[in-house]
Structure 1
Amino acid sequence: MSTRKNVKYTDADFEATALKWYEEIESDGEGSEYEDNVEPISEHENEISESDISDSEIIDSSGSSKKNVILGKNGYKWSTLEPPRTKTQHRNIVVKIPGLQGPAKNVTNEFEAWKILFTADMIESIVGLRKHLETMSSRATYISKTTQNELVNCIGEEITAKIVNQIKNAKYFSVMFDETTDVSHVSQMSIVIRYVHENDIREDFIAFLDCHEENYTLDKDTLEPILSGKILGQTVLKQLKLLDLNLNNCVGICTDGCSVVTSEQNGAVQEVKKGMPVAVRCPCYNHALNLALSKTSNVQSVRNLMGTIKEVSAFFTASSKRHFVLKNTLDKHLYGLCETRWVERHECILQFKNDFDAILDALEKISLWNERDTASKAKNLMISLTTPDFILTLYCLSNVLSLTLPLSNLLQDKKVEKNRANEMISCTLSALKNKRGSASDCFNAILTETQNILKVLDVELTLSRLTNKMRNRSNPNPNLSSNSPEDYYRISLFIPLLDCVINDLESRFSKETINLFNLNICLPLNAMEATETEIKTTGKMLSDMYTLIFVEDPKTVFDKFKGEFDI
């Protein structure tokens, strides 16, 4: 055991070491970023023990020991090791020289600086406004909120009048309207007119209405201010009449797909058509497709599957820890059942099917955590995902969505042609009907694919409990001894799913709307290739639907239309 002794370093030693570092850095031509390895010492200033020195020794290349700590005047230990050379981080690099830029470089006085910020017209307007406020009477300044609102209304009336004149010059137009409740809990309806102006298609906003104020007054007789489809339709007709537009020239109506608007009994569209006899409703086809797919939730198994997938997605996104486990297992983002991004709805189901094993692995890892609530929730979700009903429903729904996904992508393309969209809709419906016609063969193929994953999960395909009366799903006859799990799921799941999608698509993509695509043969490019059958079909449709526009009998309209093609 060595005796304890104190060692002191002079200021000269410290200055010599610092100078040596500086010379080495200068010789390399660049500086180095490092953190001083400093820590306070005991109250015995300028003194360190021999044991401290021995702990801080290093061995150089020659094998001799060299002390790497010296003591400064301020009571801190300073390292004698050469600081590490590191690259400067990108965020610390100056990429733009600070200071004046552009015209500001030539500014020599305050006046020139003001000229850059304020143009001559701006200064003249400010000076003119000041003179007006100084010379006019306090009652004629025109700066009150009432006057400002009147000026805004006057500007709005001028703009609306200009738009109405353009619509009248175009003659034919379509109307788009929608009603919603804003953040201030006021029912608002927006009305947009679509027309052709100078060979350009325009969609101009013309009105923003409070539906309750337009149709009800605040008196004791008003018990319940209901906004039915009939009232919404009357509101649209009333506004168009105030604009002095000829309703017989309205050829199209565009709305969303809610029941209040589209109902055949008391819908807003039916009420509007009473004042616009030749108008045809043209919905957003992608919105219609999304609503048709949403209707699949009428099938109980599909509804349960949608709810379970939403719970799984919410479970992983609610915690960064869970999302980290999913990301490492899945290697990509898990799509959610978005209500507005319709392609994402397809991709969510298809991804869930393709990455089913990885999702189960992530849930299994989380179920082993010490966090009791999270582990319990993960275990319950695993049990829900590994039921035969969930797996078969997932594969059946994926089989249907694989047909509708290309249609959804096509309908969102800004440059899609109407004929191409019409063909795609017809092909999709035809493919779904073919599946329905050969439901047994299609379902057997799906069942074969499903059997593989059921075998891996050690899940047995069993028959659900059957009763004589079942209100929520189709059911084979429980008295027949030939009932099997295959027959049960085909009758209660696959066939109702196909029927639901097909019927809803046919109702939303009506023949009246799709037939309008036949008018494309009037375009010069298509007219040269039109067949005799297409010309007759389109001519008959044109003469029957738009008799009021042509003010002639249907046969005369048809003869003129066919004569144009003969020429």
Structure 2
Amino acid sequence: MSLRILRDVSAKLEGTPYTIMVDETTDASTQEQVVIVLRWVDEDLEPHEDFIGLHITASTDAKSIVAIIRDVLVRMNLSLTNCRGQCYDGAAVMKGCLSGVAVQLTQDEPRALFTHCYGHSLNLACQDTIKDIIPIKYALDTTFELSKLLKYSAKRKSEYKRLQAEMAPQDPGFRTLCPTRWTVRAASLQSVMQNFSVIQSSLDSFADMAKRDPEMSARCTGVAAQFSSFDFLFGVALGEKVLKLVDNLSKALQHKKMSAAQGQVLAELTIKSLALMRTEAEFSNFWEKLIEKQSKEDVAEPSLPRKRKRPCRYDEGSSGHFATCIEDHYRVMYFSAFDMAIQSIKSRFDQPHYKIYSKLECTLLKGAAGESYTDDLSSIQELYCTDFDSNILQTQLLILYSHFRETAVTPALMDVVDYVKSLGKPGQLLLSEVVKLIRLILVAPATNATSERTFSALRIVKTYLRCTMTQARLNHLLMLHVHKEACDSLDLELCIDDFCRESEHRRNIFGSM
């Protein structure tokens, strides 16, 4: 059954541009597994991301992974010359500028442009921001420590739930902070703000419950001390304000049909939203609510930090700058957080290969809007010379412009895609070169999230109690699990026929359908 699904995928991919997506993980039997996913665009201009299989590797160096990729393409009867993209994480093995997987494949097929997964890029941007804004960093560390106190003790968790039912039954409970995913932490910080009084009372109870365990009592007391400081409250509130926009972007980028071009548009919108929050009016509103929250909770008054003498090696004779007003001191950190977030997202999403890829989009959109696209077309013409006919493309872009000129609206990518879809098959023949251009744009994914979802399926199929299954059986079961719709639509009589034809012995026993 799984092989029939693979054959169907292979048939659909024949002669079609595709993108290779690769990631690695360790399964329940501590074996390193490399997952292969291929992204392609069908005749209706709908993107698909299909899981192809898992492969055990003794080494995760670039040479081994490239060998696995080539082996998969041969088995799928696919040519590397049809590869138009690569999407991996930012590890040196995958991204390395000298001998990484992306570099080795690009040397054989220059049109296989590499995209550093936007999900990983966004995680790194958040990491850059948080490690430079100390109050947010400490707030997250303390929240993670609280998560461990609740997660690893049923007794403490029951005590917290009892206090919450007494003090704030209408409020949602505390949401555990994920230690590895940087872009899902806004919800945890928000739950801290909503349950601040309950958490403070719980920490006091935890310290009393752990009197016979000095180490645990000290941990509970230390977390309680952090909760009573104004810097912690400021870090939680500011972290929630910054991370909720980034979290929203992360969720949007993980959609299966999201292309790299659409991902860049969403990143630009998020940057603009962060810039709107970096204003004096927004800070005044934030500070007012923060002081109101501080007055209601058992939190110390804000104060200026102690003036520190500059080290002699950095002393240039100047007295240095010290804030004279408490509000000014925290205003600097507020603006620095948004500045750092904006700059980090910009730098992480500004990828070298995307500049080439964006020329495809610029050619399409400028042609549809009636603007000059000669420079963009000439810059991609040499690279994509066999993918489309530039002379016919220019003629068809005039047809596209004739439609959008009547709407008096500057078309976006999805406006053009929706219009071409609405024409149906006959209309797409009229705009055949435009369709090819659209498929080249949509085939580049925004994230490698499908590979991550496959890891979740792997933990369901290969568990501790079923960790001795062979690799072939694991691949077949996982293929059926991931491709649920294709599995449900299989013609079982054909599958039985395939099974019987495997050997003479089976044909003698079962015959044929």
One fold, TM greater than 0.5? yes
| Structure 2 residue identity aligned to 1:329 | L
Residue matched to 1:338: 178
Residue matched to 2:38: 193
Give the TM-score normalised by structure 2. 0.61
Residue 69 of structure 2 corresponds to residue 236 of structure 1: yes
Aligned 8 A contact 1:256 1:284 in 2: yes
Residue 221 of structure 2 corresponds to residue 360 of structure 1: no
Aligned 8 A contact 1:346 1:405 in 2: yes
Shift of 1:562: 2.7
Residue matched to 2:154: 320
Residue matched to 1:167: 13
Residue matched to 2:429: none
Of 293, 300, 304, which residue of structure 1 is paired with 2:126?
293
Q: Distance in 2 between matches of 1:458 and 1:274?
A: 59
Q: Distance in 2 between matches of 1:304 and 1:467?
A: 23
Residue 333 of structure 2 corresponds to residue 500 of structure 1: no
Q: Distance in 1 between matches of 2:348 and 2:140?
A: 23
Shift of 1:302: 2.7
Shift of 1:366: 3.6
Residue matched to 2:423: none
Question: Using a 3 Å threshold, how does the CA distance of structure 1 residues 161 and 460 change in structure 2: closer, same or farther?
Answer: closer
| Structure 1 residue identity aligned to 2:343 | N
Provide the identity percentage.
24
Aligned 8 A contact 2:230 2:301 in 1: yes
Residue matched to 2:292: 452
| SS of corresponding position for 2:38 | strand
Question: Using a 3 Å threshold, how does the CA distance of structure 1 residues 369 and 194 change in structure 2: closer, same or farther?
Answer: closer
Runs of at least 5 residues in structure 2 that lack an aligned partner in the other structure? 403-513
Question: Using a 3 Å threshold, how does the CA distance of structure 1 residues 171 and 402 change in structure 2: closer, same or farther?
Answer: closer
The residue correspondences of 1:365-376 to structure 2 (distance < 5 A) are 365-369=205-209, 371-373=211-213, 376=218
Shift of 1:398: 1.6
Deviations along 1:170-213, one digit per CA (max 9) or x if unpaired, are 3311111123344444443232323345657554444544444x
Residue matched to 1:432: 274
Residue matched to 2:475: none
Aligned 8 A contact 1:418 1:517 in 2: no
Residue matched to 2:225: 383
Shift of 1:356: 1.8
The residue correspondences of 1:217-296 to structure 2 (distance < 5 A) are 227-229=60-62, 232-233=65-66, 236=69, 240=73, 245-264=78-97, 267-282=100-115, 284-296=117-129
Shift of 1:372: 4.1
Aligned 8 A contact 2:304 2:326 in 1: yes
Q: Distance in 2 between matches of 1:479 and 1:428?
A: 35
| Structure 2 residue identity aligned to 1:400 | V
Aligned 8 A contact 2:84 2:112 in 1: yes
Question: Using a 3 Å threshold, how does the CA distance of structure 1 residues 260 and 502 change in structure 2: closer, same or farther?
Answer: farther
| Structure 2 residue identity aligned to 1:532 | G
Residue matched to 1:404: 246
Residue 21 of structure 2 corresponds to residue 176 of structure 1: yes
Aligned 8 A contact 1:292 1:501 in 2: yes
Shift of 1:364: 2.9
Residue matched to 2:304: 463
Deviations along 1:130-153, one digit per CA (max 9) or x if unpaired, are xxxxxxxxxxxxxxxxxxxxxx9x
Question: Using a 3 Å threshold, how does the CA distance of structure 1 residues 258 and 305 change in structure 2: closer, same or farther?
Answer: farther
Question: Using a 3 Å threshold, how does the CA distance of structure 1 residues 340 and 546 change in structure 2: closer, same or farther?
Answer: farther
Q: Distance in 2 between matches of 1:191 and 1:458?
A: 51
Shift of 1:259: 4.7
| Structure 2 residue identity aligned to 1:193 | L
Residue 136 of structure 2 corresponds to residue 302 of structure 1: yes
Q: Distance in 2 between matches of 1:229 and 1:484?
A: 54
Q: Relative contact order (alpha carbons < 8 A, sep ≥ 6): 1 or 2 greater? A: 2
Shift of 1:318: 2.7
Residue matched to 1:531: 369
Greater fraction of residues in helix: 2
| SS of corresponding position for 1:353 | helix
Q: Distance in 1 between matches of 2:389 and 2:324?
A: 58
Q: Distance in 2 between matches of 1:488 and 1:349?
A: 22
Shift of 1:455: 4.0
Question: Using a 3 Å threshold, how does the CA distance of structure 1 residues 203 and 546 change in structure 2: closer, same or farther?
Answer: farther
Residue 403 of structure 2 corresponds to residue 562 of structure 1: no
The residue correspondences of 1:76-115 to structure 2 (distance < 5 A) are none
Shift of 1:392: 1.7
Runs of at least 5 residues in structure 1 that lack an aligned partner in the other structure? 1-151, 213-224, 472-476
Q: Distance in 2 between matches of 1:499 and 1:481?
A: 20
Aligned 8 A contact 1:521 1:530 in 2: no
Give the TM-score normalised by structure 1. 0.56
What do you get for the CA RMSD once the two structures are aligned? Answer: 4.4
The residue correspondences of 1:105-144 to structure 2 (distance < 5 A) are none
| Structure 1 residue identity aligned to 2:267 | I
Q: Distance in 2 between matches of 1:295 and 1:247?
A: 36
| SS of corresponding position for 2:25 | strand
